[in-house]
Structure 1
Amino acid sequence: MISALQHVNLTVGHQGWEGQDPLELADKFYGDILGLKVDPVPDTMVGKLRWFRIGDTSQQIHISLEPVPDTLVLRPQTRGHPCFVLPYTTLTALRTKLAEFASSGHPGACSAPSLEGAGFVAGREGEEVDGAKKGDRFFVRDFVGNRLEFAGI
């Protein structure tokens, strides 16, 4: 029986980065901006992927280069996505941080936070803290176009 989710793999194309290393862009966004810790990858995979640990768990987000060198860089605008949960009391601060990064001009910048699709989720509840309640959520697309959801619990 399935007992947990160990990782989700999101891919990045090889081309179109104008001298930027897409794995270094992943370090900036997933590591520096989202605060995920980098875990070591096997020696045979160095330069091909990054592993980012979620909190103090063994769960990870993997960012890997597509195996075909001429793969397109950007993802189609699909609805598939992982959902990250965090205390709702910190949701507004993360949304603000992501909005600032989105407008920074950095090549690894994400899209501006959006409520795209948020109407299909359970309602808000509890005390409002810094403009957020339990159940609030928002979405961004990373520098490749992968859709990410952030939900307050």
Structure 2
Amino acid sequence: MILSLSHINLLVPPSTLHLAHAFYSETLGLTPRAVPPHRQHELAWFDIADSGQQVHIALARDEAVETASARHPCFRVGSAEELLALRERIWRHFERGGEGAPREADRPGGETSGDQGAGFPQRFFARDYAGNRLEFSL
């Protein structure tokens, strides 16, 4: 039986692994983790707190990375305050721009780009610099 998520794997364009390190470590606050030495030029791994769960980033084999995919991880945040703080941090990075900035981000205090219907927890969405859709939830 499946007990929990071990890791998710997201693709980024060739030659942008340094941007993944900046976004996933600095903007999202995930902890970088060692990858096999012979794969350091093509992979980045990050721990999600002490959950035993990870985000793996791999370089796409060519420039044709699907940029509007609905596939996504959902990162659970511990409180409404932490969720808002993360949403604000991602928004600031989006506004600041730069080659590693999110492509899309939900503005703090505004509507979200996802379904907020009855029975859904508070959440928001963003797309990383490579177009990977990310969801953040309580």
Q: Please, what TM-score do these two structures have when normalized by structure 1?
A: 0.80
Match of 2:105 in 1: 112
Superposed CA deviations along residues 82-115 of structure 1, whole A, max 9, x for unmatched, are 0001122211111111111001122110122261
SS of the residue 1:4 aligns to: coil
**Is residue 84 of structure 1 aligned with residue 75 of structure 2?**
yes
1:4-83 matches, cutoff 5 A:
4-14=4-14, 21-66=15-60, 68=61, 70-73=62-65, 75-83=66-74
Q: Percent identity?
A: 40
Partners of 1:80 and 1:43 in 2: how far apart? 29
8 Å CA contact retained: 1:50, 1:62: yes
What RMSD over aligned residues (CA atoms) do the two structures have, in Å?
1.6
Runs of 4+ in 1 over 6 A off after TM superposition: none
Consecutive unaligned residues in structure 2, runs of 5 or more: none
Consecutive unaligned residues in structure 1, runs of 5 or more: 15-20, 124-134
Kindly name which structure, 1 or 2, has the bigger radius of gyration based on alpha carbons. Answer: 1
